[in-house]
Structure 1
Amino acid sequence: MEFVTRRRKKRMIKPIKVIDKGLMKFDEEEKEEPLSPSSIVFHKPNFNIHILAIMGCKTLVDLELCKSKIPLTLLKHPRFSSLVVGDLSKGEELKWVRTEVDLDKHIIVPNIDSENIVSPEKYVEDYIYNLSKTTLDKSRPLWDIHILHLKLNEDVKALGIFRIHHSLGDGTSLISLLLALTRKTSDPKALPTIPTQKIMSNDNKIRKGLICRSIFVLWWVLQLFWNTFNDVLMFVATALFLKDNSPLKSSLGRVSNTPRRIVYKIFSLDDMKLVKNAIGGTINDVALGITQAGLSRYLSRKYGNDENNIEDSTEKMKKFPKNIRLRSVLLINIRPSGGIQALADMMEKDTEAKWGNSLGYVLLPFTIGLRDDPLDYIREAKATVDRKKHSLEVNYTFFMAEVVMKLFGIKVASAISDRINAHTTIAFSNLVGPMEEIGFYGHPLAFLAPSSYGQPNELMINFQSYINKMTVVLAVDEEVIPDPHQLCDDIVESLKLVKEAAITQGLVKDFVATKGCQTI
């Protein structure tokens, strides 16, 4: 569901002039633009979020080629060639100020002694873990790229880790920007093809509306208002007092400044499509469902339930804590995105594209429990998502945040944001990726794995599709989840069980039997 807000008029910025050694320079008149209220929030000490895009490359990275391409594309985006100037602690307004960009300070290539590395995967995991202990230097634009020339397997010869401060944009926009820098390997001039959700045409909507009886329309409207009222009430209660009662909450309090262990696993997107078609839902329904199933399996083991235990789910649930409340807070940008074509045109042709953080909140409850029928996890997730779609929660929470910001200032608005995050546990996202192989400045990619650190939530879960693969990425506080690989395995194993249940129950037509869930 897209939510449209009034577009702010953008200031015209003069073209960038390129000088030697990857240094970017502007005309002498500096351009300034104030940060949006949503972007300001990301500069608080306890909400200093950095987004990571991990790219597995099939070839070694040509550094000189990248340095020659970046000034012609990425640096034409104003946010990637601007400093954040001002100090919140002194009451100063934060502004974007255009500046020179020295690429040698933004492209980091560590020296790696690959011959003495026992496990390349563990080396990369530790590298990202140590990276999450650091923040971007505010004396230059808030992004960098880390190039690791390290062979992980036959498909991955190097890694690129694109790190961007969240104040530059929301996660979906930044991933779209990354994709706008890529091209199909089959057609180096063509942008990636991104799947889009089919939307009913206006004529069909009108025709269907005429067929529907007025009582049905009235019921639909009443449900919309009722759902919105309950969601906003829950948001207010969460800001005031309602906390998650969750085994995954940290006993140490806020965890925003703790380093994050980021792990990922790649499996078959076709398996998710099979389940999606079996229950008549979406990939997002399946992603949420197997996450709930994986978390339930993980916590069940934590509370002493053996996987081979013949007890039914009711008996096993008796070992769980009572009245578990586990929720995810979703930050949704209500400013509509122009898509990767608009972003590509902005960077290559100096056109305008919609950009910026205009964020509303959605609180998404996670159902934790053991089910005898694995498909029940997907059905429950679908019911939750369908209800959230039929609500204006994100619009009202954005409006409330804007009103509080204008009336009471950034400190009060930040305090409310802190309480919302302190009272919830998980951050969750599902991003749609290209349908065919793409190359980043000519380097073909084997996989994409987005994540983040600096968020106050104990667990961050990202799903990212790419061709016929799906990657699930976890960013965890190790004090809460000391074995994130096990949780990753539980989520993938849950998909296997859901898929087998769909086949066994005869919900899949024209199915050719395969051996369980395919991992890659």
Structure 2
Amino acid sequence: MMEREEDEPVSPAGRFFLRPEMDQVINCALGLKNSLDVNYLKEHVKSSIMIQHPRFCSLLVRDNQGREHWRRTEVEIDRHVLVPELGGEFDAEGSPEDDEEIVNRYLADLAVSSPLGTDKPLWEFHLLRAQKCCVLRIHHALGDGISLMSLFLSCCRRADRPDEVPSISITASSSNSNSSKAKENKLSRSSRGGCGRLLWKGVLVVWFTIVFVVKFILRSLWVKDEKSAITGGAGVELWPRKLATAKFKLDDMKAVKKAVANATINDVLFGVISFGLTRYLQMQSPKKQREGLQLTGLAMVNLRQESGLQDLSNMMKNNNSRSRWGNQFGFLLLPVYYHENVDDPLQYVKRAKAMLDTKKQSFEAHCSYAIGKLAMWVLGPKVATMLNYRILCNTSFTISNIVGPQEEIMVSGIPVTYFRVNSTGLPHALTMHMVSFAGRAEMQILVAKEIIPDPRVLAKCFQDALLELKDAAATSMKD
């Protein structure tokens, strides 16, 4: 008789996502060129590498002290593949919803009303046959965005070369990283200019780290953003949601990037966010907003030494500290500002770049991760989660940006038409998740509809902001 494998403790970050206040499920929507047969999907899942991963064939259990563990179990595929039948509705003008609106409405409902049961491993497939869409729901305790994207792409193949897995732009991915390795390289390069310059760089790193960590701690206590038309707060995670998709061309972002010296795609993204939110507040606020109003975003940053997406075989080895599976991320506080009557729209990108450049010179993300682990260990999960919850209540929005495959891809031999991600509700009234895929980037905008009634208006503000930035970039390049 085989002995049962020993239960594996849930990581501190995983325990954080399992708390009732922060119960987080990641919803990944895959658009398909053709409808997918449910039996074919089940067979594909059974033979996929996903089922071989310990997290996807383990139950969440709690011991006598209430501490969470993973316990291996047999996976019953039929319990993990659901086939809901969705009907369309009509908008205010009497027009029927299209497939995208139906899927977004379904995802918005999942964000507040459908937790994953603990009587089976914490993942599900929802097959929306009429809409040619498959929704993969994965609890955040299983892993972060890098882990899950790496797993997903290992199950995909290139559309033009079916024998090859999709490729990822490491350069683009690395712009998301706030790793110590990048800082060490900077310090190494600066040492060539003399010890004085190296010392000054070190002083800046220490200074910015102290400043940002103090600000981070204060956010968990009493410091908060001013109230605005997008402000959420305690309990908002339970409010009904709406979802819209903002669609961008990566070539447009790259055109803007070229117009601002040493800019990155993330700089452009935050310029778009700042510009778009300014547009939205001008339209929706009942009274004039204060010039320079700060709207603070909360972002998760990959802390693995190897930036970008990871080799799955390495991630599945728990003893690999460089790229191991799980939740390996820290938090960054990323402020954007309300500015009216800006003569040059590129100023939004330049301000965003200046802010992000200072963040890159600090260990804020690493310190936030360490503080979270320490709080979980010393104060326990309840208090540690309460402090993180207060940070969410005291900021204005959540933002994430994951680099996806550069080329068109297939799943089970069926071409993928879009790949979008969102998560379940947070105290924020505005949550944004962007994924780039085959030359385009799509951002899911999840809102509390009592605060932001129509997220499509906000999505258009972001799209128009990028187009205006593109025009400004073209003009500046001619001068």
TM-score under structure 2 normalisation? 0.88
Following TM superposition, by how much is the alpha carbon of 1:121 offset from its aligned partner in structure 2, in angstroms? Answer: 2.9
Which residue of 123, 133, 141 corresponds with 1:143? 123
Q: What is the alpha-carbon distance in structure 1 between the residues aligned to residue 360 and residue 382 of structure 2?
A: 31
For 1:342, the aligned partner's letter is D
Match of 1:9 in 2: none
Change (3 A) 1:335 1:213: closer
**Is the Cα–Cα contact under 8 Å of residues 253 and 265 in structure 2 kept in the other structure?**
yes
Q: Cα distance 1:400–1:112, how it changes in 2: closer, same or farther (>3 A)? A: closer
The answer as to whether partners of 1:246 and 1:326 remain within 8 angstroms in 2 is no
What amino acid is the match of 2:167?
Answer: T
Deviation, structure 1 residue 423: 1.0
Evaluate the alpha carbon distance shift between residue 221 and residue 489 of structure 1 in structure 2; reply closer, same or farther with a 3 A threshold.
same
CA contact (8 A) 2:234 2:427 kept: no
Q: CA deviation at 1:395?
A: 1.6
SS in structure 1 of the partner of residue 401 of structure 2? strand
- Distance between the aligned counterparts of 1:356 and 1:179, measured in 2? 16
Question: Is the CA contact 1:345–1:351 (under 8 Å) kept in the aligned structure 2?
Answer: no
**Shift of residue 251, structure 1, vs aligned partner:** 6.6
Higher-Rg structure is 1
2:257 counterpart letter in structure 1: K
Assess, with a 3 A threshold, how the Cα gap between structure 1 residues 397 and 507 changes in structure 2: closer, same or farther: farther
- The 3-state SS of whatever aligns with 2:216 is helix
Q: Following TM superposition, by how much is the alpha carbon of 1:84 offset from its aligned partner in structure 2, in angstroms?
A: 0.7
Deviation of 1:493 (Å): 0.1
The superposition leaves residues 283-325 of structure 1 with CA deviations (integer Å, 9 ceiling, x where unpaired) of 1111111011000000011236xxxxxxxxxxxxx92146633
Match of 1:16 in 2: none
Amino acid at match of 1:180: S
The AA in structure 2 aligned to 1:74 is M
1:108-135 Cα shifts (integer Å, max 9, x gaps):
1123568996533332222222222111
Distance 1:111 1:210 in 2: 63
1:335–1:257: structure 2 CA closer, same or farther, 3 Å change rule?
Answer: farther
Matches within 5 A, 1:157-236: 158-197=132-171, 208-209=189-190, 211-236=192-217
In structure 2, which of residues 40, 44, 51 is the aligned counterpart of residue 65 of structure 1?
40
Deviations 1:453-487 (A, max 9, x none): 13222211122111111112101111211110000
1:259-338, aligned counterparts within 5 Å?
Answer: 259-280=240-261, 281-303=263-285, 319-321=288-290, 324-336=293-305
The answer on whether the counterparts of 1:427 and 1:457 sit within 8 Å (CA) in structure 2 is yes
Structure 2 CA distance, aligned partners of 1:282 and 1:500? 18
1:189-223 Cα shifts (integer Å, max 9, x gaps): 21111001288999997984453122221211111
> Which residue identity is paired with 2:127?
I
User: 322-331 or 71-80, which moves further after superposition?
Assistant: 322-331
Query: Residue 266 of structure 1: CA displacement?
Result: 2.3
> Is 1:468 aligned to 2:447, yes or no?
no
Opposite residue 37 of structure 1, the aligned amino acid is P
Instruction: Output one character per residue of 1:165-206: Cα deviation in whole Å (capped at 9) or x when no partner.
Output: 111111232122212211111122211110012889999979
Residues 389-446 of structure 1 show CA distances to partners (whole Å, capped at 9, x for unaligned) of: 1101112222222222222222221221121111112111111111111112222111
Structure 1 pair 191–323 and aligned structure 2 pair: CA distance change class (3 A): same
Tell me, what secondary structure is at the counterpart of 1:444? strand
Correspondence 1:502 to 2:473: yes
Aligned to 1:443: 414
Q: Which residue of 2 aligns with 1:122?
A: 101
Superposition deviation, residue 106 in structure 1: 1.0
What TM-score, normalized to structure 1? 0.82
Cα deviations across residues 216-237 of structure 1 (Å, max 9, x unaligned)? 2121111111111110110111
Q: Any idea what SS the aligned residue of 1:136 has? A: coil
Please state how far the C-alpha of 1:334 moved relative to its aligned partner.
2.4
Q: CA deviation at 1:326?
A: 1.5
Percent identity of the aligned residues? 34
Q: For residues 350-389 of structure 1, what are the structure 2 equivalents within 5 Å?
A: 354-370=324-340, 371-389=342-360
Q: Match for 2:61 among 82, 85, 110?
A: 85
Aligned to 1:40: 15
Q: Mark the CA change 1:124 to 1:205 in structure 2 (over 3 Å): closer, same or farther.
A: closer
Question: Which whole-Å CA distance do the structure 1 matches of 2:389 and 2:86 have between them?
Answer: 39
**Residues 366 and 436 of structure 1, relative CA distance in 2, 3 Å threshold:** same
SS of residue in 2 equivalent to 1:256: helix
Contact kept in structure 2, 1:266 and 1:472, CA below 8 Å: yes
- Matched-pair contact (CA < 8 Å) for 2:229–2:285: no
Distance change (3 Å), C-alpha of 1:338 and 1:471: closer
Q: Conserved in 1, the CA contact under 8 Å of 2:318 and 2:325?
A: no
> Any gaps of 5 or more consecutive residues in structure 2?
91-95, 175-180
Q: Structure 1 regions of 5+ residues with no counterpart?
A: 1-25, 152-157, 305-317, 509-520
1:56 is matched with 31
Q: Secondary structure at the match of 1:85?
A: strand
Distance 2:423 2:5 in 1: 31
Q: How many angstroms does 1:44 deviate by? A: 1.3
Secondary structure of the 2:388 match is helix
Q: Distance in 2 between matches of 1:247 and 1:27?
A: 60
Indicate conservation of the 8 Å contact 1:180/1:341, yes or no: no
| 2:460 matched residue in structure 1 | 489
Q: Is the 8 A contact 1:177 1:340 kept in 2?
A: no
Instruction: Give the 3-state SS of the residue equivalent to 1:236 in structure 2.
Output: helix
In the aligned structure 2, how far is the partner of 1:176 from the partner of 1:355? 10
